[in-house]
Amino acid sequence: MAQITVTNWFGNVVSHPQVVVEANSTQEIMAILKDPVKYPSPVRAVGSNHSNPPCGVADGGTLIKMANMNKIVSITDQSVTAQGGALYYDIAHELEKHQLQFYVNTEIGSLSVGSAACAGTKDASFFGEYGQVGSYITEVEMVLPSGDILEVDESQPELLQQVRSSYGLFGIVTAATFRVRPILPMAVHHETFQIADFIKQLPQLWARNESMMYYIFPFEDLITVEFRKYNPGASGPPNRICWPLRNYMWATAGPKFCYQVETDIADKTIRYGVINNFCALWRFKLENIVSSDYTIATDQMIHYPPVSDDSRYTFSLWAFPEEMYPTVLPAFVQFSKDYYQQKGYRTNMLNVGYRISKDQQSLLSYSYDGNVMTVDPISTFNPGWQDFLNAYNDFCCGMGGKPLMNQTPQLTRAQVQKGLGDRVKQFAAIRSKYDPGNRLLNSYFQDLLAD
């Protein structure tokens, strides 16, 4: 049998399934799971396949592509239900026609419903709200490894909590329901701080009760903070320009420029001088153009192309208790400088981060124990990125960080268990009850969840 090769969206995670199926219905998925001869294990399902770690790898097994199952099933004034392959971006724009929006309008609009329902996401939390998409999932339909249907809703809070972090290991999500709200005007502005000044001002910045996402520039000792808040008193037409500009710079022009600079300029001093100048331009645009008292939250989302090109980028994430961040952030800045001096490598894009509220809606939530702030390096996968990630993972784990199994590449079992503690063992025990024959368990999760 000819070898089948499938990659994640970026192209750096490679899978060699024996069978690939483009599912069109729940019944097809039921039939697949009931026939281990024709459809060997492990069985994994993917939407846009944006995960950086090998969550969707199905070496020697069966890969189910969910993109054809993309229908919006129903919309009410409080919820939307869609099939597992529907994209968050498409649903958000349909909701807008009904004067509705999601609670969490995450940047990666290519997020599929199935992934949103059972995997981790990130977005800076608004005051009094969660920052993880799955926390607003109220009902999930999935096909179990046996081929049977399981429906879980808010009448089963403990099970729903487990499903929200099941990573497709309990069953394959075929539909999910999200809580939604009426559209609210949203204000945004950016401020740049010296790292030391930012650390001093953190208590006052938290007290603003605004969402905080930020861009970290370790080689310039600067951080630019994006503050967002709902602004129901806003009047006049909304600004529909500033978010598309941010998205174009962030998701298209930025990575493409940095990739080209990395490719064309051999001298590191000149290369990173050019990139530092680009980052200065980026800060200027954020501070002076991506600012408005009235924007639409849906406009934050980016619809990435189905097949990546030379504007693609990759990233990682570790989250830290916010009370530790005054120690973590300057340590990360120094770590980045030391690594460049010792190894000659630095990421060729900026770094980002988010403040995310305490959230126990998911069993493996990285903010389960309290508010967190993250450090997320970004790269076009320039040479040395993978070695850097190993060192970065060691640094973050040593600083008490918590990883995300679908957005923190190159994790070790020890790092996951240290970061997420006894909840990993609890999750592994629950998983084995739903899938005693390991029908859905690939080698990546088998290693991370082992005792």
Same domain for 61 and 82, yes or no, is no
- Contact call for residues 181 and 138 (beta carbons, < 8 A): no
- 348 located within any domain: no
Percent helix, strand and coil across the chain, each to the nearest 5 = 35, 25, 40
The C-alpha atoms of residue 79 and residue 133 are separated, in whole angstroms, by 14
Q: Tokens 């630019």 map to which residue?
A: 224
Query: CA distances (Å), 26 to each of 40, 83, 255, 438, in order?
Result: 18, 9, 38, 21
- 77 located within any domain: yes
- 114 located within any domain: yes
| Structure tokens belonging to residue 306 | 């189905």
Same domain for 43 and 78, yes or no, is no
Q: Give CA angle at 253 (248, 255), nearest 5°.
A: 115
| pLDDT of amino acid 12 | 94
- Contact call for residues 140 and 160 (beta carbons, < 8 A): yes
Q: Which residues on adjacent β-strands are paired with residue 6?
A: 15
- Contact call for residues 80 and 91 (beta carbons, < 8 A): yes
- 14 located within any domain: yes
Same domain for 51 and 89, yes or no, is no
- 53 located within any domain: yes
* Residue where a domain terminates, one of 65, 87, 115: 65
* Residue where a domain terminates, one of 134, 160, 183: 183
- Contact call for residues 186 and 231 (beta carbons, < 8 A): yes
DSSP state of 167: T
Same domain for 61 and 123, yes or no, is no
Same domain for 40 and 112, yes or no, is no
Same domain for 108 and 28, yes or no, is no
- 289 located within any domain: no
DSSP string, 391-414: HHHHHHHHTT-EE-TTTSTT--HH
Domain count, the chain: 2
Residue-wise over 34-53: b if at least 16 C-beta within 10 A, else e? eeeeebbbbbbbbbbbbbbb
Residues 6+ apart with CB under 8 A from 214: 223, 224, 225, 226, 352, 353, 354
C-beta neighbour count of 104 within 10 angstroms: 23
The C-alpha atoms of residue 104 and residue 130 are separated, in whole angstroms, by 8
- 79 located within any domain: yes
Same domain for 166 and 132, yes or no, is yes
Give the range of the structural domain holding residue 148, as residue numbers without chain letter.
72-183
The C-alpha atoms of residue 401 and residue 375 are separated, in whole angstroms, by 9
Same domain for 157 and 103, yes or no, is yes
Low-confidence residues of the chain: pLDDT under 50: none
The C-alpha atoms of residue 109 and residue 304 are separated, in whole angstroms, by 7
* Residue where a domain terminates, one of 149, 183, 217: 183
pLDDT digits (tens, 9 = 90+) for 272-317: 999 999 999 999 999 999 999 999 999 999 999 999 999 999 999 9
Label the pairing between strands 314-315 and 172-182.
Answer: unpaired
Same domain for 45 and 119, yes or no, is no
Same domain for 78 and 177, yes or no, is yes
- 358 located within any domain: no
pLDDT digits (tens, 9 = 90+) for 340-389: 999 999 999 999 999 999 999 999 999 999 999 999 999 999 999 999 99
Closest CA to 261 of 249, 251, 273: 273
- Contact call for residues 388 and 349 (beta carbons, < 8 A): no
Can you give the CATH number for the domain in which 148 is found? Answer: 3.30.465.10
Same domain for 34 and 101, yes or no, is no
- Spacing of C-alpha 54 from chain mean position: 14
DSSP string, 295-354: E-GGGG-B---SS--TT--EE--EEEEGGGHHHHHHHHHHHHHHHHHHHS---SS-EEEE
Residue-wise over 183-202: b if at least 16 C-beta within 10 A, else e? bebbbbbbbbbebeebbeeb
Can you give the CATH number for the domain in which 33 is found? Answer: 3.30.43.10
Same domain for 91 and 119, yes or no, is yes
| pLDDT of amino acid 2 | 57
